Chain A
Amino acid sequence: NAGVTQTPKFQVLKTGQSMTLQCAQDMNHEYMSWYRQDPGMGLRLIHYSVGAGITDQGEVPNGYNVSRSTTEDFPLRLLSAAPSQTSVYFCASSLGPFNEKLFFGSGTQLSVL
């Protein structure tokens, strides 16, 4: 099992550019989520999904879109990148809702210039 795979590992964008952070899991997990991690701020939930076709907003959803067309994939889209979105992004999944163990990807370091 590969677990939770995030791509790319590093990305540099210019302000206004768009991109998609990819997240895939091969554990047949229903629950998937995206967090951003900033120094001194811990992890903050951006969006989450409790199953294919179902998504909801977390604590800091503005500027990000998600969709869940399959159980395996949960991409995070930045439609118009801003410097405030410079961060490390983590995707996580679990078999059920949060009270199951979360499996984290290795992260994507994003810089927006």
Chain B
Amino acid sequence: AQSVTQPDIHITVSEGASLELRCNYSYGATPYLFWYVQSPGQGLQLLLKYFSGDTLVQGIKGFEAEFKRSQSSFNLRKPSVHWSDAAEYFCAVGEVGGSNYKLTFGKGTLLTVNP
């Protein structure tokens, strides 16, 4: 079964600083990978996704992520963080097989942005 690890439970950065959130996955085949963001009291919103092709994917709100098969990683980056980026971020990996469509989420990384 697939699994997702987000090593950092909580990260604090200053506004304007760069950001990298780590995600490692375990999956036998080529994974389908996602990053979602959750603002307080809200549901999740898709930031970006990777299925195949270019290993650097661009998402909404200026985020990007890079798929590195050799490291089983899909880290999320942003060059300059804004105060509005404070939220919880979830990495997810999808499994497909027959009628099986399961999306497994990591435990999340809470981002705090200092002024």
Q: Which residues of B contact A58 (CB under 8 A)?
A: 102
Complex: how many Å from CA A56 to CA B97? 13
A41-B107, A42-B90, A44-B105 given; A56·B46 CB < 8 A? no
Check A98–B43 contact: CB distance below 8 A.
Answer: no
Instruction: Mark A residues whose CB is within 8 Å of B.
Output: 4, 31, 33, 35, 40-45, 48, 50, 54, 56, 58-59, 90, 92, 97-99, 101-102, 104-107
Check B90–A56 contact: CB distance below 8 A.
Answer: no
Interface SS majority for chain B: strand
Q: Nearest-CB distance from A13 to chain B (Å)?
A: 21
Check A99–B108 contact: CB distance below 8 A.
Answer: no
A41-B107, A99-B32 given; A106·B100 CB < 8 A? no
